[in-house]
Amino acid sequence: MLNVKGLKCAFNNAGATVVGVDDVSFNIEKGACYALLGPSGCGKTTTLRCVAGLQEPSGGVIEIDGRVVYDATAGICVPTHERPIGVVFQSYAIWPHMTVFENVAYPLRVQRPRLRESEIRDRVMNVLSLVGMKDIGERPAPRLSGGQQQRVALARAIVRNPALVLLDEPLSNLDAVLRDHMRKELAELIARVGVTALFVTHDQIEAMSLAHRIAVMKDGRIVQEGAPREIYAHPRDIFVAQFLGAANTIDGVVDTALADGRARVRLNDGQSLTCRSAAQPGSPVTLVLRPERLRLSASRPDGSAGLAAQVRSVTFLGGFVECVTELGDARLRVIGPPDVSPEAGAGVWLCLLDEPIALPRRE
């Protein structure tokens, strides 16, 4: 549906060239929801703006729904209003001087040839009821909550039945509780409308809960692409592992290579563990240990692998406790049920629920 190939976008910043997007390629299947995830400045918005036609790239090809809308070498650059897209901006860009109805109707009113008023009314009421806003169509736009503004922005983006909806940080200006609620609502809405969606976010929870596939970006490039579970379980490097959840890391060296892509790794403090790793003996590696895959135990676990550690701090967080443990010079965070509360300074065992991944470390 959306096909982006070798997209490049450079900016001229007071004579210096800043690379915003550097050779980005990805495809989105029809009806899928795709996320560009990455830290601030990695090129997410720039990629989205290039797809929208709001920013002219410096190279590459963009194809939407079978039509090439940008091709650097062929000199094709289709203007925004001729691309089959709807955009939800980070600020929502709801016009304050209009009612909810008129905000949503706007893209239809500027459409040529003109639509009949009755058709505009039908289509606007249709999308307003889709987003649960049918009864407040006449309300002036400034009198809307954050969540309602978000729904209006989405309604406006889909009113022309675009092939593709682009959303830039669609939830970032909502407070934490509303964001949680709207995340689920947005996922439902996108599925119900059946539209193909590309959204950008720096929030991994948002990306994992909304998207079928995620591209993790860094410095203008895609470093890894895949289904949320796939990249969570098999991060290509430490950056991806850390970005997709507050992973613990601990350094070690491969002792022995085992069968099936596994290896015995010796940690800096002398303890050993079996990990998923294709690294050769002697290679320095970094282990990724997810807090939710560790359990605290007073005694050495039998059956599963364990590491001896010392409790540094225990923080009660309502539904769970967060325990920071020390193992040599590494700190490992463990999440436990609220009734588990070891003393700071106590010796504990960390039981590993599965074999951690050990990634090559460049020294």
Ligand X SMILES: Nc1ncnc2c1ncn2[C@@H]1O[C@H](COP(=O)(O)OP(=O)(O)OP(=O)(O)O)[C@@H](O)[C@H]1O
| Residues of the shown chain interacting with Mg ion in the complex, contacts defined by CB under 5 A | 45
Count, residues in the chain: 363
CB of 220 to ligand X, least distance (A): 7
Q: 206: closest CA among 231, 224, 234, 187?
A: 187
By beta carbon distance, the residue nearest Mg ion is 45
Residue 202 interacts, among ligand X, Mg ion, none and using kind-specific CB cut-offs from 5 to 8 Å, with ligand X
User: 236 and 224 in contact (C-beta within 8 Å)?
Assistant: yes
Q: How many CA atoms lie within 13 A of 300 on its CB side?
A: 2
Q: Is the dihedral of CA 77, 31, 111, 9 positive or negative?
A: negative
Cis, bond preceding 79 (omega within 30 deg of 0): no
57 vs 291, beta carbon nearer Mg ion: 57
CB of 85 to ligand X, least distance (A): 18
CB of 169 to ligand X, least distance (A): 7
Write the DSSP assignment of 207-252 as a string of letters: HHHH-SEEEEEETTEEEEEE-HHHHHHS-SSHHHHHHTS--EEEEE
13 vs 299, beta carbon nearer ligand X: 13
User: 20 and 220 in contact (C-beta within 8 Å)?
Assistant: yes
51 vs 64, beta carbon nearer ligand X: 51
11 vs 95, beta carbon nearer ligand X: 11
21 vs 208, beta carbon nearer Mg ion: 21
What is the contact surface with ligand X in residues (CB under 6 A)? 11, 13, 18, 20, 38, 40-46, 202
Partner residues linked to 314 by β-bridges: 323
CB of 44 to Mg ion, least distance (A): 5
Q: What is the dihedral of CA 333, 337, 340, 343, to 10 degrees?
A: 30
Residue 170 interacts, among ligand X, Mg ion, none and using kind-specific CB cut-offs from 5 to 8 Å, with none
45 vs 248, beta carbon nearer Mg ion: 45
Residue 42 interacts, among Mg ion, ligand X, none and using kind-specific CB cut-offs from 5 to 8 Å, with ligand X
CB of 155 to ligand X, least distance (A): 24
123 vs 202, beta carbon nearer ligand X: 202
Structure tokens, 117: 């008023």
Residue 299 interacts, among ligand X, Mg ion, none and using kind-specific CB cut-offs from 5 to 8 Å, with none
CB of 45 to Mg ion, least distance (A): 3
Residue 46 interacts, among ligand X, Mg ion, none and using kind-specific CB cut-offs from 5 to 8 Å, with ligand X
User: 321 and 340 in contact (C-beta within 8 Å)?
Assistant: yes
Residue 41 interacts, among ligand X, Mg ion, none and using kind-specific CB cut-offs from 5 to 8 Å, with ligand X
DSSP, res 86:
E
CB of 11 to ligand X, least distance (A): 3
Q: Phi/psi zone of residue 132: left (φ > 0), alpha (ψ -120 to 50 degrees), beta?
A: left
CB of 206 to ligand X, least distance (A): 12
21 vs 309, beta carbon nearer ligand X: 21
163 vs 205, beta carbon nearer ligand X: 205
DSSP, res 55:
S
CB of 51 to ligand X, least distance (A): 12
Burial (CB count <10 Å: 0-12, 13-18, 19+), residue 290: buried
Under DSSP, is residue 82 helix (H, G, I), strand (E, B) or coil? helix
Structure tokens, 212: 């079928």
How many degrees, rounded to 5, is the angle at CA 10 between CA 6 and CA 13? Answer: 170
